[in-house]
Amino acid sequence: MEREELQKVFDEKCASGYDQQWSKIAPLREALHLLIGAVLSDLGDDARILCVGAGTGPELIYLAERFPAWRFVAVEPSAPMLDVCRRKAEERGIANRCEFHEGYLESLRRGDAFDAATSLLVSQFILDREARTGFFRGIAERLRPGGVLVNADLSSEASPAAYESLRGAWFRMMQDGVLTPEAIEKMRAAHDRDVALLPPVEVVEIISAGGFESPVQFLQTGLIRAWYARRV
Ligand SMILES: C[S@@+](CC[C@H](N)C(=O)[O-])C[C@H]1O[C@@H](n2cnc3c(N)ncnc32)[C@H](O)[C@@H]1O
């Protein structure tokens, strides 16, 4: 999917209650955040964090509340998603530690290097492998040497049969908790067409090619996998 088209999808998703739609699978997100907090907990009190594809801000809000002196830059191309993120940060009294950049990473002004970056459920939408590597390279360029990337993506399995089986369970979970059967069918088609669900070994290769050392997988919840890796 082209960038503009994807941005429109997220503008519309936001208008139709993105956060509410995902609230029923909140335990998956909570597990991810809990572990990200642990992965990043040895950064200093004055850490600066880059949140790429921050969406409505769940990871930013979690980390800002858990680490009360950290500062954040949220990068998000969808204005409605970023507005929700900003509003939540204001309501929670953390907006004074945040900068909100509407757009992509390449248009963010150059400043001090970041200590860590998050990219949660973003790179999966970049179908072209070179472009996906470039996405991670762009993050690496903004981090200090040794800075940490935390990345999560929907991914497939090494074996097609295992993937089909897990995907079945994933959609049953969605149907039980979140979506109507029609919406599930739409999501299934979108997964096939618009989302690059790759086997984990390939995601690791792409992150590494973007300038990161030995990504470590620290979580799997259904189709979501998450890795951390240090900038080379
Ligand atoms: C599935 S949402 C995830 C949002 C948030 N990280 C979360 O975990 O809830 C993906 C977000 O990435 C944004 N996005 C898509 N492509 C992007 C890109 N190339 N760079 C930055 N953000 C992007 C979308 O606008 C959307 O808000």
Query: 125 CB under 6 A from ligand 1?
Result: yes
**pLDDT value for 25:** 87
Strands (E), the chain: 48-52, 71-76, 98-102, 114-120, 143-154, 212-221, 224-231
Please say if the pLDDT value at position 34 is more than 90.
Answer: yes
**pLDDT value for 110:** 94
Give how many domains the chain has, as a whole number. 1
Query: 76 CB under 6 A from ligand 1?
Result: yes
Instruction: Answer yes or no: is 184 within a domain.
Output: no
Query: 173 CB under 6 A from ligand 1?
Result: no
Alpha-carbon gap, residue 167 to 117, rounded angstroms: 28
Instruction: Answer yes or no: is 101 within a domain.
Output: yes
CA distances from 129 to 133, 135, 136, 226 (A): 6, 10, 11, 18
CB 136 within 8 A of CB 149: yes
DSSP secondary-structure letter at 223? T
R_g (Cα) of the chain, nearest Å: 17
**pLDDT value for 120:** 98
pLDDT, averaged across the chain: 94
Q: Provide the residue range defining the domain that includes 68.
A: 3-157+196-231
Helix (H) or strand (E) holding 89: helix 79-91
Instruction: Answer yes or no: is 97 within a domain.
Output: yes
Instruction: Answer yes or no: is 191 within a domain.
Output: no
Q: Read off the pLDDT of residues 91-120 as tens digits, 9 standing for 90 and up.
A: 999 999 999 999 999 999 999 999 999 999
Instruction: Answer yes or no: is 20 within a domain.
Output: yes
Q: What's the whole-number mean pLDDT along residues 35-49?
A: 97
CB 82 within 8 A of CB 74: yes
What distance in angstroms lies between residue 57's CA and the mean position of ligand 1's atoms? 10
Alpha-carbon gap, residue 162 to 54, rounded angstroms: 31
Instruction: Answer yes or no: is 54 within a domain.
Output: yes
Map residue 72 onto helix, strand or coil: strand
Instruction: Answer yes or no: is 183 within a domain.
Output: no
One-letter identity of residue 22: W
| Domain at 141, CATH number | 3.40.50.150
Query: 53 CB under 6 A from ligand 1?
Result: yes
Atom in ligand 1 nearest the alpha carbon of residue 53: 22
Instruction: Answer yes or no: is 189 within a domain.
Output: no
Q: Read off the pLDDT of residues 70-91 as tens digits, 9 standing for 90 and up.
A: 999 999 999 999 999 999 999 9
Query: 78 CB under 6 A from ligand 1?
Result: yes
